[in-house]
Structure 1
């Protein structure tokens, strides 16, 4: 089957937020997302939480790498108390849009059915702070959303997000180099190889698994009933973003001159995407079978990228 690039909605909050800040000179969100190094692998964290992204990877690990790859810099500030953070945000927003996150999505009550923390990270672009509300472009589908200050500060503390520091934001985005999309992706291939080899400086909790082992273990968990929120996590988030990332990875690798690796990534995208309907209707054997077919593709993708790097010396 020929790979067709995907265009549509999806949970790409930080890539979309970066694209809004970079404006007309921004690369595609696909390039931004893939340049973080996130799509290269699969992880089961602590034996319970699965993501179709690299072992030991969390979004903040890839932000500076992605900006460097595409030729941009920014200034990061974080920490402090709520009052000083709000003042810092208001001052920055008076000068221009501000990239903010991670936020705890459950505190953002303009999202329907959000009533409290759910342990899900989110990123937005802040446009203004005034009159006890924060005006944001929320890339989850809510332009010009007005968020009460107290709700925003609760979300921005990110106490229930498993990475990052409270009150983190980025400003002063500057383009420092003209980089083609193809060159941006070529520059992160060494990182992709390390990610696929499960090389990480992050200390992972006991029971964590990566790549093929993670796929096999998650298949077993699904066959056992996909309990403890696993089914919901997969159908509402992990499958959607995982398939999207891998589809974009296929497009980007092909653009960068890695056709074999691109074909493998496209296969991964189809396998992850194929899990959505079975998981929704609780056809757990079909979803588990897709994961078992996915398991060996990580070694194949690693080998294809290594071979291509050696071949082009």
Structure 2
């Protein structure tokens, strides 16, 4: 089956937030995501929590690499405490919107059913702030939403997020060199090879398959986030690799997307064996993708 590109909603918070900050010169979110390296691996954190991104990778790991590949720079700022962070934000907002994150999604109470920290990271673009409320574009599907200042500060503390530093923001987004999407994708391939070489992706997927088959997997995390974002990342990788003529690698990434995507319904309805079988079919594809990318780089 030939790969067919996806366009639609999904948990692409930092890529969407970057695209907003880039404005009219923004590349596609597919290119932004691939430039971060996120599609190229799997990790099973603590032996039980799956993420379809590389071993040792967290979003912040890929940001500066992606910005460089895309021809942009930005300035990262951090407050030592809430008051300092808000002062920095107000100062930065004079020059335009501010990219903020990670924040704790559970404290973003404009999102239905969010009532407190759940350990879920998120990124938003802040448009203005006063003494009572923060106005933002939340790429989860909430443009021009506002939040009480106290709730936003609690989200920004990221007390249950396992990476990142509280009160972090980026400002001063500047395009320093014109880079085409094709050139940005090409420049990102060595980074993809690097990330695919980290850890044992196949073993991580096999271990996840065993958890799923035994009914010991984190179902809510998988069906609401991990599979959705993982499939989209792989689909975008397939699209981007095809654009630069990496045909074999694109076909493998497309296969990965289809196989991982086939787990969504079984995981939702509790067909553990079907989901586990699909994951076992996915496991060897990461080494295949790594080999295909290495072979093309040697050409």
TM-score, structure 2 normalization: 0.98
Task: Evaluate the alpha carbon distance shift between residue 8 and residue 91 of structure 1 in structure 2; reply closer, same or farther with a 3 A threshold.
Answer: same
Instruction: Report if the CA contact (8 A) 2:41-2:201 is conserved.
Output: yes
Does structure 2 retain, via aligned residues, the 8 Å contact 1:80–1:167? yes
* 1:155-202 Cα shifts (integer Å, max 9, x gaps): 01111111111100000000011111111111111111111111xxxx
Q: Does 1:217 align with 2:187?
A: no
Secondary structure, counterpart of 1:96 in structure 2: coil
Structure 2 unaligned residues grouped into runs of 5+: none
Q: Provide Cα deviations, 1:75-107, integer angstroms capped at 9, x if missing partner.
A: 000131111111111121232011000000001
Deviation at 1:210, TM superposition (A): 3.7
**Counterparts of residues 14-93 of structure 1 (less than 5 Å):** 14-93=14-93
CA contact (8 A) 2:108 2:155 kept: yes
Cα displacement (A) at 1:131:
3.9
Q: Is the 8 A contact 2:79 2:88 kept in 1?
A: no
User: Aligned residue for 2:287?
Assistant: 299
* Residues in 2 aligned to 1:78 and 1:91: alpha-carbon distance in whole angstroms: 13
Q: Match for residue 259 of structure 2? A: 271
1:193 and 1:31 map into 2 onto residues whose CA distance is 16
Instruction: Give the number of aligned pairs.
Output: 299
TM-score calculated relative to the size of structure 1: 0.94
Deviation string, structure 1 residues 207-241 (Cα, Å, up to 9, x no partner): xx6410011000000011134xx111100000000
Indicate the SS of the match to 2:54.
coil
Q: After superposition, where does 1:118-129 map in structure 2 within 5 Å?
A: 118-129=118-129
> In the TM superposition, what whole-angstrom CA distance separates every residue of 1:7-65 from its partner, at most 9, and x where no partner exists?
00000000000000100100000000000011101110110110111111000000001
Alignment of structure 1 residues 1-313 onto 2, 5 Å: 1-198=1-198, 210-227=200-217, 230-311=218-299
CA-based RMSD of the aligned residues comes to 0.9
